[in-house]
Amino acid sequence: MKQTIIDMAGKVIRTGVGLLGRRNGAVASAHLSEQLAPVLTVKTKSGTLQFFCPGHAAFWQAEKFQISEPETIEWIDTFDTGDVLWDIGANVGAYSLYAALKPGLKVLAFEPGAGNYYVLNRNIEMNKIDNVASYCLAFNNVSYLDYFYMSSTQLGEAPHSFAQSIDWQGQPFAAKFRQTALGFSIDDFIDRFAPPFPNHIKVDVDGNENRIIQGGEKTLSDTRLKSLLVELNTDRTEYCREVFAHLEKAGLKFHSRRHASMFESGPYASVYNHIFVRS
């Protein structure tokens, strides 16, 4: 019923705008899009955040991030003052912003999708946060230019994949759009630019986790890295075994895996956040 009312209201607005003519209608639509895009205020245990929500997916990311991944929130809560978090696959930045509420914590948020990167930066701006640095780039096992294959161009949506159109199930998908993107290996990125070294890394990229981890062999073996959280589909047994082997070789020990109760059934029932810590 609620969606029907929303659809009807949208139709009325579009009809009214259409009556203004092509140019005036475009001007009115531009102003309306700015006025109607909501800002959602979300209370967390660490403080209040505001999220720019120019679409339903971005709204969902903002409204649900605490209940969709409570294990990620709990993991962030263990960080020490002065720690650095790398959020790889930041989307619109919900977890980057939450981490930034912790005093003394620095966050590097990486999001290659141009639309999501735009929303991420609007969120950083609205919250007046100065301890989050955002980068529009992808990570991979080697550094090169390629395509970022997007399953949808709606703001806040996922999954997408760099360099190959493979989804979180390891299956090819038909990309709605191919965006050119710059990809780095983690080790090469650090060697070239000397960014703040990560004490914690979050990897949520829906498909190429293994290549990202392969490209960070030196970084992952560095004792300054305390922990890593990676989302994996446990139905991909051999794939998970490969990721585990790389992380254990780097001295990171498997600690736990969890997902929210809302994912106990359905298509994401086999998807868990896996946490590894320095042994």
Position 279 pLDDT exceeds 90: no
The pLDDT of residue 35 is above 90: no
Measured in whole angstroms, the distance separating CA 58 from the mean position of its chain's CA atoms is: 11
Give the C-alpha separation, 36 to 32, whole Å.
6
Q: What is the CATH number of the domain that holds 243?
A: 3.40.50.150
pLDDT of residue 99: 98
* Residues 88-104: tens digit of each pLDDT: 999 999 999 999 999 99
Residues 47 and 151 in one domain: yes
Q: Which residues contact 210 (CB under 8 A, 6 or more apart)?
A: 239, 242, 243, 246
Same domain (yes/no): 53, 24: no
Q: What is the pLDDT of residue 58?
A: 95
Same domain, residue pair 10 and 95: no
Of 25-29, 140-144, 165-169, 225-229, which gets the smallest average pLDDT?
Answer: 25-29
Q: Do 93 and 25 sit in the same domain of this protein?
A: no
Judge if 98 and 231 occupy the same domain.
yes
Q: Is the pLDDT assigned to residue 201 strictly greater than 60? A: yes
pLDDT in tens, 55-112: 899 999 999 999 999 999 999 999 999 999 999 999 999 999 999 999 999 999 999 9
Contacts of 188 (CB under 8 A, 6+ apart): 142, 143, 215
20 with 49, same domain? Answer: no
pLDDT of 50 > 80? The answer is: yes
Q: Do 26 and 75 fall into the same domain?
A: no
Question: Does 23 have pLDDT greater than 90?
Answer: no
Percent of the chain past pLDDT 70, that is, above it, reads 87
Please indicate, yes or no, whether residues 5 and 138 belong to a single structural domain of this protein.
no
Q: C-alpha distances in angstroms, 107 versus 76, 86, 100, 142?
A: 11, 6, 7, 23
Q: pLDDT tens digit string along 141-194?
A: 999 999 999 999 999 998 899 999 988 888 889 999 999 999 999 999 999 999
Single out the residue of 65, 179, 165 nearest to residue 112, CA to CA. 179
The pLDDT mean for the chain works out to: 90
Summarize the confidence of residues 243-263 as an average pLDDT: 95
Is residue 50 domain-shared with residue 104, that is, in the same domain?
A: yes
Same domain, yes or no: 253 and 240: yes
- The predicted model gives 3-25 an average pLDDT of 59
Number of domains in the chain: 2
Task: For residue 3, give its domain range.
Answer: 1-36
Q: Do both 125 and 16 map to the same domain?
A: no
Statement to judge: residues 52 and 22 lie in one domain: no
